[in-house]
Structure 1
Amino acid sequence: MTIAPHPHPLVVRARRLADDLLAPHAERVDQEGVPVGHIDAVRRSGLLGLGAPREYGGAAAPAPVGREVAEILAGACCSTWFVQTQHHTPVATLTRSEGPVRQRLLGPLARGELMSGVAYAHLRAHPRTPVRATRERGGWRFDGTVPWYTGWGLNDVMLLAGVTDDDEALFAFTEAREQPGLVASEPMRLAALTAARTVSLELDGLWLPEESVALRQPYETWAAADRLKTVAASPAVFGVAEAALALLDATTAAPLRSRLGDVRDRAYALADHPDPEEHRAERLALRTRAHELMCAATTAAVVAGGGRSLTLAATPQRLAREALFLLVQGQTTQSRTAHLEALLG
């Protein structure tokens, strides 16, 4: 990663957080779970307000700063990065919202007084509707199953999505705790990022008032914007890859680092393109190529580490498992198909 001569203050804070806390404890966190202390440190750092409007206490940082911060955090401790990255979608949703929930929550979220998770990936299963939102008593009733919710026990609130009878995507805020109509499973044991405290949620008549709604729009309108986001290469992929390359000797790392830098530069240039509809195929190809290089880097780290890489206290195997996770994180039918086609040649 190229370091700017005068990095943004939030990049400096992210680097300090990564070097002083996240990276030194990453293996322990991987086995024991993201501790509240890590989340408190993220709150104090100001990173939760990264993209939030200044008038609400945020930093309104430009996209390149957000990407660099994500690379730093993911490369240091992917589990902590994944918990905190959920927070930025609710902030962005509230920034665009015109409902009363904006005034109630945007400031506390931007200042890190509250932390939010998200429960909306199930919308990508459409036309299946794992969660249905129906009108009831002047508000909305939610029924169904949220397959994945990350940060349980660490988040204060969640942004919950369902599909209405009019085929709209509806997003509303509620407290991230068990309550009438909402029950959480035991934390899932996963091959990677078990530490991020992911559960499933059973919704059976969870009722939320109209003033909790942050977004309501035709499903296809929401899905079109979502598809544009999910064709891009994730900064976390570059962060994990760089962390793996740092474990190799200079001769081994150099060619992989050069290829990774080329993909990163092109992917980020397209991410900043004024027309997100352009270059869709190339963006997908770059996403796939970034994944390939990440897997090559983490595999090289495992090989270089030899048998020691297989111990649970070893950094290479943690990074290799995190790479497996990032292969499917934010995956859609479109990105999955493109990746499989690339693998098949």
Structure 2
Amino acid sequence: MTTTTHPLVTEAHRLADDLLAPSAQRVDQDVVPRSHIEAVRRSGLLGVSAPGESGGAGAPDRVAREVAEILAGACCSTWFVQTQHHTPVRLLAKAEPGLAVRERLLRPLATGELLAGIAYAHVRSHPRVPVRATVERGGVRFDGTVPWYTGWGLNDLMLLAGVTDADEVVFAFADAREQPGLRASAPMRLVALTAARTVSLTLDGLWVPEESVALRTPREEFARVDVPRSTNTSPAVFGLGYAALDLLGAAPAERGAADALRARLDEVRERAYALADHPVPHEHVEERLALRTRAYELRRAATTAAVVAGGGRATSVDSPAQRIAREAVFLLIQGQTATVREAHLAALASV
């Protein structure tokens, strides 16, 4: 659903139509190829939210959301690899000018010269501490297990986080490769997005120098800031929903059902994005959760309708309908917190 004519939206459509969508079935059964990542790098999309003075596009959030929708709807595995990159970029863009790691990494990340992944979702596991951070020898030592790390073998860097004994979260950049103190598992086999090269990481004394530390923040402050991130609806939810409706509406007999679902999805999208742009990000949490849950329901209806309309063909691994339906299952738990899970289960129980 295009709502803006920003050049990066046009570029996202070009990339989706010419490369990502035509190869999505093959990628789903294999891995995201380096050629896809190189195409994303060249497109400028990795800098969509990065400041212009650092080589990025400095585009408004509505553009970043629409780019995400387009990429997710075309090839969710490729979207999932590149979407990790935008969190480190945003973190460095907000850091104090002069911070060593900001000066060293923001421009190469904003221009796509470097690709970064994230290894910090485990911080949401409080009171468990899967990764412990210890300040020592002019840097930080990390010990524990990162349960999920996406883009292994594709990313240049990772934004890693651990929690100190003082309940402080330390974020630091490290090379995304095996090295002393860091070992990766074999790639995980998942119901969908196996192609995104997700592994777990074992940290046994991984040492990162102080000049690679990007942020120190109390864990409670991290949890507070994380609320809008986790309760807002991911643009990928809408991207997959629209991709399913495009499949459904391609058949004249199913166009009425597709149009009806699209109108409902459009309404939720508009309301969800209005809240995402709200000047006070910690307000309206219950409404954000309700809209996120409603978006899940409509996306499920859209992907199910695409499978139903596809009939027996939709059971083939070559069917876009079943691929999108499996990707939708994956997004049910992507970025999930205890609060999101409880709200979603409560909504399902009331159906």
Shorter chain as normaliser: what TM range? over 0.9
Q: 1:231 corresponds to which letter in structure 2?
A: T
Partner of 2:238: 238
- Measured in 1, the distance between the counterparts of 2:117 and 2:281 equals 26
1:130 aligns with 2:130: yes
| Residue of structure 1 equivalent to 2:65 | 67
2:109 aligned with 1:101: no
Q: 1:114 to 1:2 in 2, by over 3 A?
A: closer
Find the residue that maps to 1:87 and give its secondary structure: helix
Match for residue 35 of structure 2 among 31, 34, 37: 37
SS at match of 2:247: coil
- The residue number in structure 2 matching 1:305 is 310
Question: Aligned residue pairs: how many?
Answer: 343
Find the counterpart in structure 1 of residue 169 from structure 2: 169
TM-score (norm: length of structure 1) = 0.98
Structure 2 match to 1:314: 319
Q: Secondary structure of the equivalent of 2:141?
A: strand
**What is the CA-CA distance between 1:3 and the residue it aligns to?**
3.6
- Rounded to whole Å, the distance in 2 between the matches of 1:303 and 1:167 is 50
For residue 128 of structure 1, give the secondary structure of its aligned residue in structure 2: coil
Q: Aligned equivalents of 2:261 and 2:64: distance in 1?
A: 24
Q: Which moved more, 1:274-283 or 1:260-269?
A: 274-283
- The structural deviation recorded for 1:184 is 0.2
Residue 274 (structure 2) pairs with residue 262 (structure 1):
no
Q: Which residue of 2 aligns with 1:335?
A: 340
The AA in structure 1 aligned to 2:257 is T
Tell me the secondary structure at the aligned position of residue 177 of structure 2: coil
Q: CA shift at 1:138, angstroms?
A: 1.3
Cα deviations by residue, 1:137-166 (Å, 9 ceiling, x for unpaired): 111110000000000000000000000111
Q: Deviations over 1:115-174 (max 9, x none)?
A: 000000000001110000001111111000000000000000000000011100100001
Specify which of 4, 19, 22 is matched with residue 21 of structure 1: 19
Alpha-carbon separation, structure 1, partners of 2:75 and 2:100: 35
- Quick one: distance in 1 between partners of 2:171 and 2:283? 28
* Deviation digits for residues 181-223 of structure 1 (CA, Å, limit 9, x no counterpart): 0000000000010000000000000001111100101011111
SS of residue paired to 1:93: helix
Report the Cα distance in structure 1 between the residues aligned to 2:36 and 2:281, rounded to whole angstroms: 35
Counterparts of 1:277 and 1:84 in 2: how far apart (Å)? 27
1:81 match: 79
Structure 2: how far apart are the matches of 1:185 and 1:287?
Answer: 32
Q: Deviation per CA, 1:225-262, whole angstroms, max 9, x where unpaired?
A: 11221100110000000000011131120111111011
| C-alpha distance after superposition, 1:278-311 (max 9, x if no partner) | 2111110000000010011001100100111011
Compute the displacement of 1:341 (Å): 0.3
Report the 3-state secondary structure (helix = DSSP H, G, I; strand = E; otherwise coil) of the residue aligned with 1:114: coil
Instruction: Report the TM-score when normalising by structure 2.
Output: 0.97
Give yes or no for contact 2:68–2:239 (8 Å, CA) kept in 1: yes
Deviation of 1:277 after TM superposition, in Å, equals: 2.0
**Counterpart secondary structure, 1:273:** coil
The residue type paired with residue 294 of structure 1 is R
Task: State the Cα deviation string for residues 32-76 of structure 1 (Å, max 9, x = none).
Answer: 110000000000000000111111100110000001000000000
Query: What secondary structure, in the 3-state scheme, does the structure 1 residue paired with 2:313 have?
Result: helix
Q: Is 1:286 aligned to 2:291, yes or no? A: yes
The residue that corresponds to 2:217 in the other structure is 217
Cα distance in 2 for partners of 1:289, 1:340 equals: 12
Further displaced range: 77-86 or 88-97: 88-97
Two-structure CA RMSD over aligned residues (Å): 0.7
* Conserved? CA contact 2:314–2:320, under 8 Å: yes
Q: What corresponds to 2:251 in structure 1?
A: none
Is 1:199 matched up with 2:204? no
Q: Aligned residues: percent identity?
A: 70
- What secondary structure is seen at the aligned counterpart in 1 of 2:29? helix
* AA partner of residue 227 (structure 2): R
